[in-house]
Amino acid sequence: MRIGSVILVIWLVIGLFAAVQRDYFKGGDATCAKTGTVAVTVVAGPLNYLGANPKIKCKAPQPSK
At residue 30, the pLDDT reads 78
Which residues are within 8 A (CB) of 32 and not within 5 positions of it... i.e. 6 or more apart?
56, 58, 59, 60
At residue 37, the pLDDT reads 86
Classify residue 63: in a domain, yes or no: no
Mean pLDDT, the chain, whole residue set: 86
Classify residue 25: in a domain, yes or no: yes
Alpha-carbon gap, residue 49 to 21, rounded angstroms: 11
Alpha-carbon distances of 53 from 1, 2, 46, 61, 65, rounded to whole Å: 31, 30, 11, 26, 37
Classify residue 58: in a domain, yes or no: no
Domains contained in the chain, number: 1
At residue 62, the pLDDT reads 76
Classify residue 16: in a domain, yes or no: yes
Classify residue 56: in a domain, yes or no: no
Classify residue 13: in a domain, yes or no: yes
Can you give the pTM of this predicted structure? Answer: 0.75
